[in-house]
């Protein structure tokens, strides 16, 4: 996921995620709680409405009972009744009804069940009582009273029955009030609940007797009730015109053939309005917060990532050795401080690098590294080191007639040319001693092929010298000749001197011998002399045994060799020549002076300029004159360095 690699993206994503999570959680919690709370409240208020409804019915019933009782004991009514005149009786009933409020109806029924008078349906006069069940129920009541809901022209009426006592029962008085729109409106006024009264006809049709709902909703409710069974006393949710209503159906007491239901309803949407507003506000806040936070996150992230990018680039430049890239932020905060510190660090690194370079130039990079890597302590350790000494033979004559600056210039040119070969072959320039240079292979870091490297270096130095001499020649400067001596031995390598002024160098017999060998090169007329140990350590070269010597100050006889070249590069002629030489040398060692001389003279004929051959010829002569004693080991003693 590439976007998560960017700090900016991560910060922005984090902030967005946090916001989304917390606001979503808030919205969900608010929603859940509000719906639960609203449901509870609605249930509670529906229960109250149901109680109010029952109470209202009861109150009305009680009121009408009392009215009926009053009428039944009203003397004037009894008198009117005794006239047996329908119109008189009817007008007395109407008069009594007008004494009380409400759209009440009254009916008088004889003991044998015939309607004597009916205020609403005058045509029922003399017909059979349409609700005999009420009469039967009143007859069996101790007070002769009864009540039930009955239908008059499809409208439900709560009908009360009381006996007309004159003073014995002579007729039944029926009085009732309609359960219609006015009734439900009154309930609605008190409880703010929607009330609908429905009844189911014999043909399973559901009709509405009264409702506080508007026509469309009432129709939807009617349709619902017609097609669904409801459990009385349990709340359910009915959807009408995309609004949810929590509904409580109540069964009303009626005579058996009539099924009357009152539905009390409260709109869930209305109740949730406040919560919905809250939710909408939260949503708006959420959206704004998101937008602002994203922008701010972006800005803040950039405030961090931009400087980080610049600092990274600066670090890369430093890595590549560019120290002068200054990073400038005009800020006083942590980033500004960081930039300031970074710049100081860059300056410090630049200086250290400068010093290191300088040190490297002064002591050679490897020694510089060795010195810098460890604490500076005086002392050394034994190491197997190949030491190389290289000296200019005719330095004095080179100096003759020259200004010091010129001499220095020529010397530097010479050193620059040949010393590079030392470094490139893994060696370290230990020191310059006037016109001589001492190099070491194997310290500070030991390598496997130190000896070979030193010999290779020596060859390259000679080759470089040739080129230099060509250049000198062109410039009218006399050619330089050099001598190189190499020895491999255990020496002590380390920091020598005082703690404030020291050198990393090597000390030991092995070092001295290399110097002595270099000194011998002129005598043998060769450029490079290596010791036996070096020869053994570098078996990839062809050697010529030069002599067995006892150098000044030493009792040991060392064999000295001249490296000819790498074994695979030796050609047949050279090989042949070497064989002849070895043969001659062998004779010499065996004290066969004459034979040896003869051989050497043969060689000399081929190479008349060879100092070596001449040397041996002279030696042979000397030996013939002054033969050595019996325990001569073939060595030659050098009395001078």
Minimum distance between the CB of residue 91 and another protein, rounded to whole angstroms? Answer: 18
- Name the one range near another protein by CB under 8 A: 27-35, 142-150, 426-434, 572-580: 142-150
Which phi-psi region, left, alpha or beta, contains residue 445 (left: φ > 0; alpha: ψ -120 to 50)? beta
- Confirm if 359 and 372 have CB atoms less than 8 A apart: yes
Q: What is the 3-state secondary structure (H, E, C) of 461-503?
A: HHHHHHHHHHHHHHCCCCCCCEEEEEEEEEEEEEEEEECCEEE
Q: Which of 26, 34, 73, 635 binds another protein (CB under 8 A)?
A: 73
In the complex, least distance from residue 128 CB atom to another protein, rounded to whole angstroms: 19
Stretch binding another protein (CB under 8 A), from 20-28, 114-122, 139-147, 550-558: 139-147
How far apart, in whole angstroms, are the C-alpha atoms of residue 434 and residue 398?
13
Residue 373 phi, psi (nearest 5): -70, -35
Of the pair 170, 592, the CB lying nearest another protein is at: 170
Cβ 210 vs Cβ 202: under 8 Å: no
Asked if 559 touches another protein (CB under 8 A), the answer is no
| CB nearer another protein, residue 165 or residue 308 | 165
The DSSP 8-state label assigned to residue 628 in this structure reads: -
| CB of 147 vs another protein, minimal distance in Å | 15
Is 70 an interacting residue with respect to another protein (CB under 8 A)?
A: no
User: What character string, x for contact with another protein (CB under 8 A) and - otherwise, covers 143-182?
Assistant: xx------------------x-xxxxxx------------
Q: Count residues binding another protein (CB under 8 A).
A: 17
**What's the closest the beta carbon of residue 124 comes to another protein, in angstroms?**
24
What residues contact residue 9 under an 8 Å CB cut-off, 6+ apart? 3
Which positions from 332 to 371 touch another protein by CB under 8 A, shown as an x/- string?
----------------------------------------
For the CB of residue 98, give the shortest distance to another protein in the complex, in Å.
23
What DSSP letter does each residue of 369-411 carry, written as one string? Answer: HHHHHS---SEEEEEEEEEEEEEETTHHHHHTT--HHHHHHHH
Q: Is residue 75 near another protein by the rule CB under 8 A?
A: yes
Listed residue (171, 129, 186, 169) closest to 152, CA to CA: 129
Query: Which range in 140-148, 281-289, 429-437, 625-633 contacts another protein by CB under 8 A?
Result: 140-148
Closer Cβ to another protein, 78 or 580, answer by number: 78
Q: Which is nearer to another protein, 85 or 540 (CB)?
A: 85
Could you tell me which of 424, 433, 429, 432 has the C-alpha nearest to residue 443?
A: 429
DSSP state of 73: T
Interface with another protein by CB under 8 A: which range of 76-84, 388-396, 469-477, 568-576?
76-84
Q: Which residue number, 138 or 546, has a Cβ lying nearer to another protein?
A: 138
Which stretch in 70-78, 301-309, 454-462, 501-509 sits in contact with another protein by CB under 8 A? 70-78
Residue 135 or 481 with smaller CB distance to another protein = 135
Min. distance of Cβ 253 from another protein in angstroms? 22
Q: Which of 11, 43, 61, 78 binds another protein (CB under 8 A)?
A: 78
Shortest Å, Cβ 68 to another protein: 12
Shortest gap between Cβ of 81 and another protein (angstroms)? Answer: 7
Binding to another protein in span 195-234, by CB under 8 A: none
> Angle at Cα 607 formed by Cα 605 and Cα 610, nearest 5°?
120
Torsion over CA: 535, 538, 539, 541 (sign): negative
| Calpha distance 594→621 (Å, rounded) | 8
**415: three-class secondary structure by DSSP:** helix
Q: Going residue by residue from 503 to 542, which x/- string records binding to another protein, judged by CB under 8 A?
A: ----------------------------------------
Backbone conformation region of residue 376, classed left if phi is above 0, alpha if psi is from -120 to 50, else beta: beta
C-alpha 130: how far from its chain's center?
Answer: 87
Tell me the C-alpha distance between 570 and 575, whole Å.
Answer: 7
Options 141-149, 188-196, 227-235, 445-453: segment touching another protein (CB under 8 A): 141-149
Residue with smaller CB distance to another protein, 161 or 384: 161
- The single residue among 77, 81, 177, 414 that binds another protein, judged by CB under 8 A, is 81
> Toward another protein, which CB reaches closer, 78 or 331?
78
Secondary structure letter of residue 639 according to DSSP: -
Cβ-based nearer residue to another protein, 66 or 540: 66
Both tokens assigned to 546: 């030069």
What DSSP line would sit under 277-333, residue for residue?
HHHHHHHHHHHHHHHHHHHHHHHHHHHHHHHHHHHHHHHHHHHTT-----------S
| β-bridge mates for residue 149, sequence order | 158, 254
- Smallest separation (angstroms) from another protein to the CB of 193: 35
The Cα–Cα gap between 333 and 331 comes to 6
Whether 441 and 388 have beta carbons less than 8 Å apart is answered as yes
Which of 155, 173, 151 shows the shortest CA–CA distance to 164? 173
At a CB cut-off of 8 Å and minimum separation 6, what does 203 contact? none
Binding residue (CB under 8 A) for another protein from 56, 69, 249, 620: 69
Beta strands in 241-337 (DSSP E): 243-251, 259-267
DSSP state of 610: -
Whichever of 146 and 265 has its CB closer to another protein, that residue is: 146
Tell me which of 55, 59, 82, 276 binds another protein, using CB under 8 A.
Answer: 82
Give the residue carrying structure tokens 């190491």: 383
String marking each residue 281-310 x if it binds another protein according to CB under 8 A: ------------------------------
Judged by CB under 8 A, the stretch of 73-81, 395-403, 479-487, 602-610 that binds another protein is: 73-81
Reported as half-sphere exposure (CB side, CA atoms, 13 A), residue 612 has a value of 24
State the residues that interact with another protein by CB under 8 A: 69, 73, 75, 78-79, 81-82, 142-144, 163, 165-170
């Amino acid at each position: 996921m590439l976007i998560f690699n960017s700090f900016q993206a991560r910060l922005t994503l984090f902030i967005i995620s946090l916001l989304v999570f917390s606001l979503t959680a808030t919205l969900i919690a608010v929603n859940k709680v509000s719906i639960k709370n609203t449901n509870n409240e609605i249930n509670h208020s529906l229960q109250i409405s149901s109680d109010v409804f029952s109470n209202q019915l009861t109150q009305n019933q009680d009121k009408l009972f009392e009215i009926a009782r009053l009428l039944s004991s009203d003397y004037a009514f009894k008198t009117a009744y005794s006239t047996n005149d329908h119109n008189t009786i009817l007008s007395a009933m109407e008069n009594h009804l007008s004494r009380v409020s409400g759209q009440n109806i009254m009916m008088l029924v004889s003991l044998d069940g015939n309607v004597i008078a009916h205020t609403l349906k005058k045509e029922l006069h003399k017909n059979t009582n349409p609700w005999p069940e009420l009469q039967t129920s009143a007859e069996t009541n101790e007070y002769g009273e009864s009540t039930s809901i009955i239908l008059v022209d499809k409208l439900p009426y709560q009908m009360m029955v009381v006996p007309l006592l004159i003073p014995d029962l002579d007729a039944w008085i029926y009085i009732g009030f309609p359960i219609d729109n006015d009734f439900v409106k009154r309930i609605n006024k008190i409880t703010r609940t929607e009330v609908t009264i429905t009844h189911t006809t014999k043909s399973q049709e559901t009709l509405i007797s009264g409702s506080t709902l508007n026509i469309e909703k009432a129709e939807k409710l009617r349709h619902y009730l017609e097609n669904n069974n409801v459990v009385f006393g349990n709340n359910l949710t009915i959807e009408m015109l995309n609004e949810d209503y929590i509904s409580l159906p109540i069964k009303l007491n009626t005579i058996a053939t009539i099924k009357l239901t009152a539905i009390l309803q409260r709109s869930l949407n209305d109740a949730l309005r406040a919560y919905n507003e809250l939710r909408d506000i939260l949503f708006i806040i959420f959206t704004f917060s998101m937008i602002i936070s994203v922008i701010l996150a972006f800005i803040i992230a950039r405030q961090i990532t931009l400087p980080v990018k610049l600092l990274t680039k600066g670090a890369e430049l430093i890595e590549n050795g560019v120290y002068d890239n200054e990073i400038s932020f005009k800020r006083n905060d942590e980033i500004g401080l960081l930039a300031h510190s970074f710049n100081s660090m860059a300056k410090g690194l630049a200086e250290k690098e400068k010093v290191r370079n300088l040190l490297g130039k002064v002591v050679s990079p490897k020694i510089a590294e060795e010195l810098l890597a460890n604490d500076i302590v005086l002392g050394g350790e034994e190491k197997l080191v190949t030491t190389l000494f290289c000296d200019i033979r005719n330095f004095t004559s080179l100096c003759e007639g020259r200004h010091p600056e010129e001499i220095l210039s020529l010397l530097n040119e010479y050193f620059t040319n040949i010393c590079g070969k030392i470094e490139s072959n893994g060696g370290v320039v230990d020191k310059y001693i006037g016109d001589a240079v001492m190099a070491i292979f194997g310290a500070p870091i030991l390598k496997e092929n130190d000896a070979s490297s030193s010999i290779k270096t020596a060859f390259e130095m000679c080759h470089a010298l040739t080129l230099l001499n060509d250049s000198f020649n062109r410039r009218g400067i006399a050619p330089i000749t050099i001598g190189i001596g190499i020895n491999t031995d255990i020496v002590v390598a380390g920091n020598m001197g005082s703690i404030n002024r020291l050198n990393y160098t090597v000390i030991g017999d092995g070092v001295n011998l290399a110097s002595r060998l270099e000194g011998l090169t002129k005598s043998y007329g060769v450029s490079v002399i290596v010791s036996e140990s070096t020869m053994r350590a570098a078996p990839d070269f062809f050697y010529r045994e030069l002599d067995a010597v006892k150098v000044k100050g030493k009792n040991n006889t060392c064999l000295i060799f001249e490296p000819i070249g790498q074994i695979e590069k030796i050609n047949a002629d050279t090989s042949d020549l070497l064989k002849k030489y070895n043969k001659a040398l062998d004779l010499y060692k065996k004290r066969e002076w004459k034979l040896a001389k003869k051989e050497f003279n043969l060689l000399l004929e081929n190479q008349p300029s060879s100092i070596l051959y001449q040397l041996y010829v002279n030696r042979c002569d000397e030996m013939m004159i002054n033969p050595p004693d019996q325990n001569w080991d073939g060595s030659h003693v050098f009395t001078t360095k």
